[in-house]
Amino acid sequence: MDRNALAIRIRDAGFRATKPRLLLLSHLYKSKSPQSIAEIAAALKTSVNQVTVYRIVDTFKKAGLVRELDLRQGRPRYELADLNHHHHVICVKCGRIEKFTGCESKRITQKALTQTKGFGQITSHSLEFFGLCNSCIKRGHHIPVS
């Protein structure tokens, strides 16, 4: 995605297309896995202050451009919200992350709404799988299923 298209996306969301925002959005488009604040800040180190990274991510999250994920690694990770709907599998040993699709959210959302008498609307969901990647299994790691 070129600089101009990024600027348009940012302006469409109601913000000024500043250099830090362009760089951050560009970085997320280039990333194959969800990024932590520290990773984003490191990638943009020479051009963007880490406090600004916090602020932009927060802004983009509230605007719906960016989604926050908890992959049980202590701090959140962020990815673009406009990608095809997907979820992740995370290796609990080495942190490797892969995507998968097909969460059947409609069916499960319906179940959730049927069972929870106090709720009338579901707006989003989180779903992540945790396990062991093949190379960690080869290295002899094993984790009891819970």
Partner DNA sequence: CTACCTGCAAACGGTTTGCATTGCC
Partner DNA sequence: GGCAATGCAAACCGTTTGCAGGTAG
Q: Using CB under 8 A as the criterion, which residues of the chain lie in contact with a copy of itself when the complex forms?
A: 64, 67-68, 70, 72, 81, 87, 89, 91-92, 96, 98-104, 107-109, 111-112, 115-135, 137, 143-146
Fill in the per-residue mask, 5 to 24: x = in contact with DNA (CB under 7 A), - = not in contact.
Answer: --x--xx--xxxxxxxx---
Which pair of structure tokens corresponds to residue 84?
């095809």
Minimum distance between the CB of residue 115 and a copy of itself, rounded to whole angstroms? 4
The conformation of residue 26, written as its DSSP 8-state character, comes to H
- Are 77 and 35 in contact, with CB atoms under 8 Å apart? yes
Fill in the per-residue mask, 71 to 110: x = in contact with DNA (CB under 7 A), - = not in contact.
Answer: ---xxx----------------------------------
Q: What is the rounded CA–CA span in Å between residue 109 and residue 75?
A: 27
Residue 139 contact partner, candidates a copy of itself, DNA, none, CB within 5 to 8 A by sort of partner: none
Task: Indicate whether 63 belongs to the interface with DNA (CB under 7 A).
Answer: no
With 0-12 / 13-18 / 19 or more C-beta atoms within 10 angstroms meaning exposed / middle / buried, residue 90 is: buried
Distances (CA, A) of 37 to 29, 79, 114, 136: 15, 11, 37, 26
Looking at the Cβ atoms of 8 and 113, the one nearer to DNA is: 8
